[in-house]
Structure 1
Amino acid sequence: MIFIGCKEDRNLIFEPSNFKNETCKNCASITILVPRALGNKKIDEVINTALREEIISILKYDDEVDANSIDSAMESFQSEYIQLRDKFPEEATTWEATINGEVTYENDTILTIRLDYYLFTGGAHGYSSVRFLNFNKEKGKELGNEELFSDIEAFEGLAESKFRIKEKIPNSESINSTGFMFENDVFYLPENIGFTKEGLQLFYEQYEVASYADGPIVLTIPLVEIQKYLIPFRS
Structure 2
Amino acid sequence: MRAIYSIFFLSLFFVSCTKKTEFETQNYNKSSAKDCKNDYNCANINLTVLEATQKNNVSDSINNAIFNAVRNSVYTGEKPKEVKNYVDLTNSFVSIFTEIKNDLQQDKIPSWEATAKVKVGYQSNRILNVVVDSYLFTGGAHGYSALKSLLFDAKTGKLLPINKVFSDINKIVSIAETKFRIQQKIPENSSFTDAGYFLDKNIFVLSKNVLFTKKGITLHYNQYEVASYVKGPIEIELPYGEIDQYLLVK
TM-score by length of 2: 0.83
User: Secondary structure of 1:174's partner?
Assistant: coil
User: Secondary structure of 2:59's partner?
Assistant: helix
C-alpha distance in 1 between matches for 2:73 and 2:191 = 34
Q: Any conservation in 2 of the 1:60–1:73 contact (CA below 8 Å)? A: yes
C-alpha distance in 1 between matches for 2:57 and 2:240 = 27
User: Which of these residues, 44, 54, 57, is aligned with residue 29 of structure 1?
Assistant: 44
User: Which of these residues, 16, 25, 28, is aligned with residue 25 of structure 2?
Assistant: 16
Q: Any conservation in 1 of the 2:126–2:153 contact (CA below 8 Å)? A: yes
Amino acid at match of 1:79: S
Q: Any conservation in 1 of the 2:115–2:135 contact (CA below 8 Å)? A: yes
Where does 1:79-94 land on structure 2 (aligned, <5 Å)?
A: 79-88=95-104, 89-94=106-111
C-alpha distance in 1 between matches for 2:24 and 2:156 = 22
C-alpha distance in 2 between matches for 1:154 and 1:48 = 33
**Alignment deviations for residues 23-61 of structure 1 (CA, whole Å, 9 cap, x no partner):** 524652111112221123432221111111112222321
Aligned pair count reads: 226
Task: Single out whichever of 13-22 and 61-70 deviates more from structure 2.
Answer: 61-70
**Alignment deviations for residues 39-85 of structure 1 (CA, whole Å, 9 cap, x no partner):** 23432221111111112222321233521111112221111101121
User: Which of these residues, 178, 196, 202, is aligned with residue 161 of structure 1?
Assistant: 178
- Residue 48, structure 1, aligned to residue 57, structure 2: no
RMSD: 2.0
| Partner residue, 2:12 | none
Task: Single out whichever of 50-59 and 127-136 deviates more from structure 2.
Answer: 50-59
C-alpha distance in 2 between matches for 1:167 and 1:202 = 14
- Residue 142, structure 1, aligned to residue 159, structure 2: yes
Amino acid at match of 2:138: T
- Residue 120, structure 1, aligned to residue 145, structure 2: no
Point out the structure with max Rg over C-alpha: 2
**Alignment deviations for residues 133-191 of structure 1 (CA, whole Å, 9 cap, x no partner):** 11011233111333321121221111111211222222232334432221111111122
C-alpha distance in 1 between matches for 2:228 and 2:94 = 30
User: Secondary structure of 2:131's partner?
Assistant: strand
User: Which of these residues, 142, 153, 171, is aligned with residue 188 of structure 2?
Assistant: 171
C-alpha distance in 2 between matches for 1:91 and 1:160 = 47
TM-score by length of 1: 0.88
User: Secondary structure of 1:141's partner?
Assistant: coil
Q: Any conservation in 1 of the 2:217–2:238 contact (CA below 8 Å)? A: yes
- Residue 71, structure 1, aligned to residue 80, structure 2: no
Task: Single out whichever of 133-142 and 16-25 deviates more from structure 2.
Answer: 16-25
Q: Any conservation in 2 of the 1:97–1:119 contact (CA below 8 Å)? A: yes
Q: Any conservation in 2 of the 1:104–1:197 contact (CA below 8 Å)? A: no
Superposition deviation, residue 105 in structure 1? 0.6
- Residue 202, structure 1, aligned to residue 219, structure 2: yes
Superposition deviation, residue 213 in structure 1? 0.9
C-alpha distance in 1 between matches for 2:72 and 2:189 = 41
C-alpha distance in 1 between matches for 2:189 and 2:72 = 41
Amino acid at match of 2:201: N
Amino acid at match of 1:48: N
